[in-house]
Amino acid sequence: EVQLVQSGAEVKKPGESLKISCKGSGYSFTNNWIAWVRQMPGKGLEWMGIIYPGDSDTRYSPSFQGQVTFSADKSINTAYLQWSGLKASDTAIYFCARRYSSGGSAYFDYWGQGTLVTVSS
Amino acid sequence: EIVLTQSPGTLSLSPGERATLSCRASQSVSSKNIVWYQQKPGQAPRLLIYGASSRATGIPDRFSGSGSGTDFTLTISRLEPEDLAVYYCQQYGTSLTFGGGTKVEIK
């Protein structure tokens, strides 16, 4: 069974750093892109970017370029999203999702449960 | 960047009624690149439709997708109480964007 399990909720202060994780199981983790998606309180979904765990090739949405960093450790089937200096506006739920391609289409077929990040002084 | 505009913002219907959700793109998108997701309250999004019209595994046949060019539609033929959710369209042409979502309420 394919699963993406994310790390637990975090409460941080502005300026602090943070790294959250997304662990995949039940499939070949290195052969599928992993996306990160932000959902601010009461708002819609925003694509942050994508990483290929096999070689850590990374693509960032222009809105998030320079604001966050993606990484992956293929030895433990885990992808990471990190911030070096959090802001209150980073308060949101962050989802990871597996990108799957079939018949010329690509889509996010499995999602993590989400990690709530709260940034408050 | 391709902007996706979903309408209506909220749809309030009774069980058994037909729901029609619209997703309009700011420029033409290949049908292969249109995806729909369902997000129930407090849950992660769930894949419904990919390639504009192909149902994902386990999705009931009351959900269907159609459209081409700039206009795409998600139809729920007979609403069930468990269809209460926000529905998002997504495209991945030159970049990837989500629509703002349509909230489906059950009367």
Tokens of B52: 């504009």
Cα–Cα distance for residue pair B68/B81, rounded to 1 Å? 29
If contacts are CB pairs under 8 Å, which of residues 20-59 in chain A contact chain B? Answer: 35, 37, 44-47, 50
Question: Closest by alpha carbon to B37, among A35, A26, A81?
Answer: A35
pLDDT at residue A60, as a whole number: 96
The answer to whether the CB atoms of B35 and A108 lie below 8 A apart is yes
The amino acid at B18? R
Residues in chain B with CB shorter than 8 Å from the CB of A104 are 32, 51
- CA-to-CA distance for B43 and B40, rounded, in angstroms? 5
Reported as a pLDDT band with limits 50, 70 and 90, residue A80 is very high
* Residue B49: predicted pLDDT: 97
CA B98-B48-B42 angle, to 5 degrees, is 70
Could you report the per-residue pLDDT of B48-107, keeping only the tens digit for each? Answer: 999 999 999 999 999 999 999 999 999 999 999 999 999 999 999 778 999 999 999 999
**How far is Cα B5 from Cα B24, in angstroms, rounded to an integer?**
5
| pLDDT tens, position by position, A47-64 | 999 999 999 999 999 999
Q: How far apart are the first and last CA of chain B?
A: 36
Say yes or no for a CB contact (<8 Å) between A105 and B44: no
A89 — phi, psi (to 5°)?
A: -70, -5
Please report the pLDDT score of residue A29 as a whole number: 96
Asked if residues A50 and A38 have their Cβ atoms less than 8 Å apart, the reply is: no
- Token readout for B16 is 């058994």
CB of A108 within 8 Å of any CB in chain B?
yes
